Structure 1
Amino acid sequence: MNREQMSLIAHADHPIAAPLHDESVAALLDRAVGREDGRLLDLGCGSGEWLLRALVRFPRLRAVGVDLSGAALAEARTRAERLGVGDRLTLHEQDAGEFSDPDGFDLVLCVGAAHAFDGLPGTLAATAKHLAPGGRLLVGDGYFELEPNEEAKEMLGDSGDLPTVMRQVADAGLVAVHGHLSTRRELDAYEWAWTGSLASWALDHPGDPSAPLALETSARHREEWLGVYRSSWGFVTLVLRPLP
Structure 2
Amino acid sequence: MDRHLISRIAHTDHPIAAPLFDESVQRLLDRLLGADTRRVLDLGCGEGAWLLRALTARPKLHAVGVDLDTRGLAQAHQAATALGVAQRLGLHHQDAREFSGPQPFDAVLCVGATHAFDGLLPTLTAIDRHLAPGGLALVGEAFWQQEPTEAALAGLGGMAATDYDDLATTVDKVVAAGWTPVYGYVSSRPELDDYEFCWTGSLAAWALDHPDDPDSAQAAAVAAEHRAGWLVGYRDTFGFVTLVLRRTADTGTGG
TM-score band, normalised by shorter chain: over 0.9
SS of match in other structure, 1:82: helix
Shifted more, 45-54 versus 125-134: the winner is 125-134
Question: For residues 118-197 of structure 1, what are the structure 2 equivalents within 5 Å?
Answer: 118-153=118-153, 155-157=158-160, 158=162, 159-197=164-202
Residue 151 of structure 1 and its aligned partner are, at CA, apart by 3.9
SS of match in other structure, 2:235: helix
Residue 36 of structure 1 and its aligned partner are, at CA, apart by 4.6
Q: Which residue of 2 aligns with 1:228?
A: 233
1:34 touches 1:136 (CA, 8 Å); kept in 2? no
SS of match in other structure, 2:236: helix
2:68 touches 2:94 (CA, 8 Å); kept in 1? yes
Residue 58 of structure 1 and its aligned partner are, at CA, apart by 1.2
Q: Which residue of 2 aligns with 1:3?
A: 3
Question: C-alpha separation between the residues in 1 aligned to 2:19 and 2:58?
Answer: 23
Aligned alpha-carbon RMSD (Å) = 1.1
SS of match in other structure, 1:231: coil
Residue 163 of structure 1 and its aligned partner are, at CA, apart by 1.1
1:85 aligns with 2:82: no
Aligned amino acid, residue 225 of structure 2: R
Q: Which residue of 1 aligns with 2:102?
A: 102
Residue 196 of structure 1 and its aligned partner are, at CA, apart by 0.3
SS of match in other structure, 1:156: coil
Q: Which residue of 1 aligns with 2:15?
A: 15
Q: Which residue of 1 aligns with 2:205?
A: 200
Residue 168 of structure 1 and its aligned partner are, at CA, apart by 1.3
2:67 touches 2:92 (CA, 8 Å); kept in 1? yes
Residue by residue over 1:96-131, the C-alpha shift from the partner in whole angstroms, topping out at 9 and shown as x without a partner, is: 000011310000000000111111111111112210
Aligned amino acid, residue 169 of structure 1: V
Choose which of 215, 220, 237 in structure 2 pairs with 1:215: 220
1:45 touches 1:65 (CA, 8 Å); kept in 2? yes
2:153 touches 2:234 (CA, 8 Å); kept in 1? no
Residue 34 of structure 1 and its aligned partner are, at CA, apart by 2.4
User: Structure 1: where are the runs of 5+ without partners?
Assistant: none
Aligned amino acid, residue 98 of structure 2: E
Aligned amino acid, residue 57 of structure 2: R
Question: C-alpha separation between the residues in 2 aligned to 1:21 and 1:125?
Answer: 28
Question: C-alpha separation between the residues in 1 aligned to 2:114 and 2:105?
Answer: 19
SS of match in other structure, 1:55: helix
Aligned amino acid, residue 123 of structure 2: T
SS of match in other structure, 1:208: coil
1:34 touches 1:106 (CA, 8 Å); kept in 2? no
2:151 touches 2:232 (CA, 8 Å); kept in 1? no
Aligned amino acid, residue 241 of structure 1: R
Report the count of equivalent residues.
244
Residue 156 of structure 1 and its aligned partner are, at CA, apart by 3.5
Shifted more, 154-163 versus 195-204: the winner is 154-163
Percent sequence identity is 57
TM-score by length of 2: 0.93
Residue 37 of structure 1 and its aligned partner are, at CA, apart by 4.5
TM-score by length of 1: 0.97
Residue by residue over 1:21-66, the C-alpha shift from the partner in whole angstroms, topping out at 9 and shown as x without a partner, is: 0000000000011245410000000000000011011111100000
Question: C-alpha separation between the residues in 2 aligned to 1:177 and 1:134?
Answer: 12
